[in-house]
Amino acid sequence: MAELDEAKIAEIVGRVMQRVLPQAQATAPAATKEPYCAPAPPRYSPPSGPAVHGGRRMGVFDDMDAAVAAAHVAFEQYEAASLEVRYAVVAAMRACGHRELEKISHDAVAETGLGRYEHKLNKNRLVIDKTPGPEILRPQAWSGDHGLMLTERAPYGVIGAITPTTNPTETIICNAIGMLAGGNAVVFNVHPGAKGVSNYLVERLNEAIVAAGGPANLICSMASPTIESAQALMHHPGIRLLVVTGGPGVVKAAMNSGKRAIAAGPGNPPVVVDETADLDRAAQGIINGGSLDNCIVCVAEKEIICVSDVADRLKKLLVAKGAYEVKGQHVQRLQKLVVAEDGLHPNKDWVGKDASKILDAIGISAPSAQMIFVEGDEDSPFVQGELLMPVLGFVRVPTAEDAIAMAKRVEHGFGHTAAMYSTNIDNLHAMARSINTSIFTKNAPTYAGLGLGGEGYTSFTIASPTGEGLTNAVHFTRERRCTLVDSFRIV
């Protein structure tokens, strides 16, 4: 018997669904479309007209109104379809991601100039395989003398999503799987600097969804996204929920939009190493994490805080394993090159660049360097700023207690991500409680908290400002309760 791989299964399911979907749409009783125990939320009515179905390329539109209207048409069809269609749609998106993996990873680096191809492969593969699908939406039942109460997760409708340049395709795949798993449609306003690869992916995902029996335009995007089109999305009456992933500007804009918003913002993840740590493990973990995609990932380690007793040994191991320590006169040159004049933000020209290229530019030849570190004090821009490049500050402090306190300060209250290497359970416990971040990894790179080499599902929209943490389909759905009085308790 021929082997069935995921792509083949998606294709077969797709063919079956194409036959089943029209019937499902035709036979879906009106009563199942609206809750009978609560009034329906107000619905946006897309304007009628030829633009509703028209995108030059599937899902990619020139105009925000047209994109939102098309997504609404898709949502209405999707809502009427069976859960089997949802599962097929999500399987098809995963299969599409695998088919396109190499191209999108390559094109993201080529278009944005950020990160590393081999790391993009890993990041994209992670979201394709480990973003939860509809299975995460578990209905809950509560029964008692008064009968049965059931809660289920219902879609919002059309979600507006804004994506970053640092993980352009990863965020689209992750958001789209989660949002469509929840029964929604989505309109993306992608980062203008990544629109080529992002819109290419939107088209391929739509094709895969249609081939699997889903409606066209479940995923829409703007051909030429701008800040203005992002604003239009944020204030569009057809958008029920906003999900934004990016820096402080977009987070603030979303939270001030007057709409319900899930906001995933910046971080400045500290990694603490105390005197009890397995230093070999710490050095390797810090290099692996701090160099991941040239440190543009929001969770990637951005500064090292080490207890003095072991600081020199840790530095030696970092260098032995492929990091480069910049010292002396080179520190000023490095700072002038990669830090903006405000001393807090990066010089954008160097964001996401290879460590060896950065070193080259300050006259140091170290072609195999994976990561750079610079020792300084707490005020150093290499410690304070989210530089988004493989250049980490290094600070030594007297005790683990001091390190934990400093980590909290330099994380700036983002509540995003942190790590600690220690074998002292009390110290690990103290930092876990104090740092109060969405992700905290112990004795591992922070990416383990994304499920890469660690347990659990993944997400590339880690919503710390609004509190959802690693977002998934649960957050892209609203809870609905249905109560049946005096019946259906079976014991």
Cα–Cα distance, 414 to 385 (Å, whole number): 12
Near ligand NAD in 451-490, by CB under 6 A? 460-462
| 389, 413 contact by CB (below 8 A) | no
Q: Find the residue with minimal CB distance to ligand NAD.
A: 246
Tokens representing residue 133 in the block: 């699908």
Residue 165 interacts with ligand NAD (CB under 6 A)? yes
Stretch that binds ligand NAD, among 226-234, 274-282, 361-369, 447-455 (CB under 6 A): 226-234
Residue 187 interacts with ligand NAD (CB under 6 A)? no
Judged by CB under 6 A, the residue of 71, 261, 292, 298 near ligand NAD is 298
Tokens representing residue 78 in the block: 């999707």
Q: Minimum CB separation from ligand NAD for residue 193, in Å?
A: 7
| 247, 52 contact by CB (below 8 A) | no
Q: Minimum CB separation from ligand NAD for residue 434, in Å?
A: 21
Cα–Cα distance, 136 to 182 (Å, whole number): 9
Residues labelled catalytic: 298
Task: Give the three-state DSSP class for 296.
Answer: coil
Cα–Cα distance, 309 to 288 (Å, whole number): 23
Whole-angstrom Cα Rg for the chain: 24
Q: Minimum CB separation from ligand NAD for residue 447, in Å?
A: 12
Cα–Cα distance, 474 to 477 (Å, whole number): 5
Judged by CB under 6 A, the residue of 55, 59, 164, 215 near ligand NAD is 164
Judged by CB under 6 A, the residue of 250, 307, 311, 407 near ligand NAD is 250
38 vs 227, beta carbon nearer ligand NAD: 227
85 vs 298, beta carbon nearer ligand NAD: 298
Backbone angles phi, psi at 339, to 5 degrees: -110, 135
Residue 245 interacts with ligand NAD (CB under 6 A)? yes
Residue 265 interacts with ligand NAD (CB under 6 A)? yes
Cα–Cα distance, 470 to 462 (Å, whole number): 5
Q: Minimum CB separation from ligand NAD for residue 250, in Å?
A: 3
Q: What amino acid occupies position 296?
A: I
Stretch that binds ligand NAD, among 41-49, 165-173, 199-207, 325-333 (CB under 6 A): 165-173
Determine how β-strand 469-470 pairs with β-strand 462-463: antiparallel
Judged by CB under 6 A, the residue of 22, 41, 49, 249 near ligand NAD is 249
Q: Minimum CB separation from ligand NAD for residue 386, in Å?
A: 6
Task: Give the three-state DSSP class for 477.
Answer: strand
Cα–Cα distance, 328 to 326 (Å, whole number): 7
| 369, 356 contact by CB (below 8 A) | yes
Residue 167 interacts with ligand NAD (CB under 6 A)? yes
Q: Which residues contribute to the site for ligand NAD (CB under 6 A)?
A: 162-167, 191-192, 227, 230-231, 245-247, 249-250, 253, 264-267, 298, 386, 460-462
